Structure 1
Amino acid sequence: MARQSLRESLLNAGFQIIWGSGYAAAGVRDIVAAAGARPGSFTNHFASKEEFVGEVLERYFAYVSGLVEDALAHDGTRPAGRLRRYLDVITSKLEAHDWARGCMIGNLSLEIAVHSEPLRLQLVAIFERWRKPFAACIAEGQASGEISKAFNAEDLADFLLSSWQGAMLRMKVERSPEPLERFKNIIFSTVFGKETLR
């Protein structure tokens, strides 16, 4: 039981450090210290920092998946409204960190995709899983005529996630919500709005 508790403490500490500082800046010593653990305890639970970060990524994706599920839930709101609700929820989370933190998945995609093949492949799988609920919501909107049928739902879901990650990158650089709001204004007055593409 004690081992599991220490493992959880390490993962919780690593979650916050990696989300706030990134992969390279998250030293194992810093994670161990933040968890209140003894030096050397990290290797009792994780074979490598790479394996550890893989577990942290899964925890983060579980957190994000909960936000997706809540925002896209069928509650009478039209599909485009549910998509906007998700982006608005994320915007409020980003505001709580003064537009500086961003998305761990996007942050790590930029930082480690060229340095760790296992983590790169894990990120590919995460994006594929992430896309599915958005594609389903978009397909529903396409069926009702609310969302453009110029592209298939899977491609539009990819476009949404990729473009939103880009907007968050600009947000972090500018320390401003303007890139997020610009993205939402454009996408909901074109592809996901009444002025559908022909």
Structure 2
Amino acid sequence: MPRPANPEVRSRLLSVGRDVVLGRGFNGCGVQDITEAAGVPKGSFYNYFESKESFAADILEDYWQSIEDRHGPILYDARVKPLARITKFFRGLTHDHGEANFAFGCLIGNLSLELSNGSEVTRSKLSAVLNRWESALSACLREAQERKELGGKQHADELAQILIEAYEGAVMRCKVEQSGNALDRFEKKVLPRLLV
């Protein structure tokens, strides 16, 4: 009789596997690389994940949930003006990238480039994560409009999409240059021009 799945093993596979994928790319690592790094027998990987692509979707969910847990509350802090919250939110993300010396990029951007054409399950999860990110930013932008902090002619949903696209592009550039210059430009040049 098979042993029941162990939630701690699944959690370790997600956490360590995410780091492996960030460091080597999804196509640059195999299931064995992930299980070795997690200290788990290769055969047990499929007790927790239907396929490597479903694993990618699960690490995306885990990655975005960790961002929502750490930085998401910033966007809903009514003590801070909405546009300052958005700047603070992106600053928190940038700090995370700086902790890794800007070497790995963003899992959302990385997997978008690697898998959006080849894995429907991953593409679907990427779309869902981007929608959650957009929704959180849009709510904050609408509040800024209600408070007359942001011009009413801006379309909040579209502006949220533009902010994410600009940020992800800056993260990609930082990964190439292994410096925070592009994210510094995003915060000092792009945000002030868009959030008016």
How high is the TM-score relative to the length of structure 2? Answer: 0.90
**How far apart in 2 are the matches of 1:181 and 1:86?**
14
Unaligned 5+ runs, structure 2: none
> What fraction of aligned residue pairs are identical, expressed as a percent?
34
Question: Are residue 100 (structure 1) and residue 103 (structure 2) matched?
Answer: yes
Is the 1:67–1:86 Cα contact (8 Å) retained in structure 2?
no
**How far apart in 2 are the matches of 1:164 and 1:135?**
15
Select the residue among 5, 24, 29 that pairs with 1:3.
5
Q: 1:170 to 1:159 in 2, by over 3 A?
A: same
Is the 2:117–2:123 Cα contact (8 Å) retained in structure 1?
yes
Question: Are residue 161 (structure 1) and residue 128 (structure 2) matched?
Answer: no
- Partner SS, residue 193 of structure 2: coil
Select the residue among 13, 34, 43 that pairs with 2:16.
13
Could you say which structure has the higher helix fraction?
2
TM-aligned CA deviation for residue 103 of structure 1: 1.3
Select the residue among 60, 71, 79 that pairs with 1:76.
79
**How far apart in 2 are the matches of 1:188 and 1:148?**
14
Aligned to 1:141: 144
Letter paired with 2:131: E
TM-aligned CA deviation for residue 145 of structure 1: 2.0
Aligned to 1:50: 53
Is the 2:112–2:123 Cα contact (8 Å) retained in structure 1?
yes
Residues 137-161 of structure 1 show CA distances to partners (whole Å, capped at 9, x for unaligned) of: 0011112222233321111111111
Q: How many residues align?
A: 193
Unaligned 5+ runs, structure 1: none
Letter paired with 1:58: E
Residues 70-103 of structure 1 show CA distances to partners (whole Å, capped at 9, x for unaligned) of: 2213242111110110111111111111111221
How high is the TM-score relative to the length of structure 1? Answer: 0.90
Q: Which moved more, 1:161-170 or 1:75-84?
A: 75-84
Question: Are residue 59 (structure 1) and residue 62 (structure 2) matched?
Answer: yes
**How far apart in 1 are the matches of 2:40 and 2:4?**
12
Aligned to 1:113: 116
Over 4 Å off, 4+ runs: none
**How far apart in 1 are the matches of 2:126 and 2:22?**
15
Question: Are residue 190 (structure 1) and residue 173 (structure 2) matched?
Answer: no
- Partner SS, residue 146 of structure 1: coil
